[in-house]
């Protein structure tokens, strides 16, 4: 029997691995554009380019491809060549593979939780890219609804609550990102579960301030001890 609690799950780096794939690409990219001593500075340039592009272009592999190109051009002081772009595409290949790697225990935990509560998935990014990952994950059947949005901010959470007639104090946002999953959900009046991930994207880091998570756990299966 379902309770009246609603569990809303982030996807990338909460349900399946994501940013570690980008980090592997970045490691390969930096190894080609800078010597070991110069890599921290090159990474800082890339982080700045990514932050700017995220604001205007959003997220996903294609935006990341553009960020790598722009970073290379800034570091090299020239326009990227066809050979440069081909090499970037080679580095990006793992990001477009039609497979995903679930976080340990996700499928089994969701199967049990789905018998107790209403489950929703809320993920941000390029719609086609995120839908591909949702389909490849083979876990969408656990969720009452899967939503792909451009950004997860306070307005997103308030809109979700209003549209689905949710009770904020019985609705939990579960994810790894302070910036997208915890702080805005708390500001919207929801409860939250923070599951830290060692590879959380640097642009998703944010101080909790007054909006600390309601609950923090170490691993996904620990949800069964609370819900």
For 143-172, what is the mean pLDDT?
96
Global confidence as pTM: 0.83
CB 172 within 8 A of CB 214: yes
Mean of pLDDT over the chain: 92
Reply yes or no on whether the pLDDT at 66 is more than 70.
yes
d(CA 187, CA 158): 9
Q: Please say if the pLDDT value at position 182 is more than 80.
A: yes
Q: How confident is the model at residue 94 (pLDDT cuts 50, 70, 90)?
A: confident
Q: What value does the mean pLDDT take over residues 96-103?
A: 84
- pLDDT average, residue stretch 11-36: 92
The rounded distance, in Å, linking the Cα atoms of 51 and 64 is 11
- Pairing verdict, β 171-175 and 118-124: unpaired
pLDDT at 71 over 90: yes
Predicted confidence (pLDDT) at residue 172 exceeds the cutoff of 70: yes
Q: What is the pLDDT of residue 19?
A: 85
According to DSSP, the residues that pair with 123 across neighbouring strands are: 148
DSSP for 147-175 reads EEES--SHHHHHHHHHHTT--GGGEEEEE
Within 10 angstroms of residue 205's Cβ, the number of other Cβ atoms is 10
Could you give the C-alpha distances from 85 to 69, 72, 91, 94, 222, in angstroms and in order? 7, 10, 10, 16, 43
pLDDT score recorded for residue 203 = 67
- Residue 211's pLDDT is 84
Q: Using one digit for the tens of pLDDT, what is the confidence trace for 110-127?
A: 999 999 999 999 999 989
CA 93 to chain CA centroid, Å, is: 19
Question: Looking at residue 2, what is its pLDDT?
Answer: 61
Name the residue among 78, 26, 79 with its Cα closest to residue 199: 26
Query: Using CA atoms, how far apart are residues 100 and 148, in angstroms rounded to an integer?
Result: 17
Average pLDDT over residues 42-65: 92
Which tokens belong to 134? 């949702």
pLDDT at 4: 80
Predicted pLDDT of residue 103: 95
pLDDT at residue 205, as a whole number: 73
Confidence of residue 12 (pLDDT cuts 50, 70, 90): very high
């Amino acid at each position: 029997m379902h309770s009246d609690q609603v569990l809303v799950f982030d996807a990338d780096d909460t349900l399946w691995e994501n940013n570690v794939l980008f980090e592997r690409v970045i490691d390969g990219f930096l190894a080609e554009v800078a010597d070991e001593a110069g890599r921290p500075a090159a990474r800082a340039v890339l982080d700045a380019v990514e932050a700017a592009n995220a604001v205007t272009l959003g997220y996903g592999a294609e935006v990341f491809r553009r960020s790598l190109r722009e970073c290379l051009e800034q570091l090299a002081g020239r326009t990227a060549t066809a050979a440069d772009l081909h090499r970037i595409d080679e580095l990006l290949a793992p990001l477009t593979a039609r497979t995903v790697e679930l976080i340990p225990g996700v499928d089994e935990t969701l199967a049990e939780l789905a018998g107790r509560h209403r489950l929703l998935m809320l993920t941000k990014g390029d719609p086609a890219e995120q839908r591909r990952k949702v389909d490849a994950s083979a876990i969408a059947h656990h969720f009452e609804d899967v939503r792909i949005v451009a950004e997860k901010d306070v307005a997103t959470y308030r809109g979700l609550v209003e549209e689905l007639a949710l009770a904020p104090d019985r609705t939990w946002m579960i994810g790894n990102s302070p910036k997208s999953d915890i702080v805005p959900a708390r500001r919207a009046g929801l409860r939250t579960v923070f599951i830290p991930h060692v590879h959380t994207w640097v642009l998703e880091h944010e101080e909790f301030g007054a909006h600390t998570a309601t609950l923090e756990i170490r691993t996904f299966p620990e949800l069964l001890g609370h819900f």
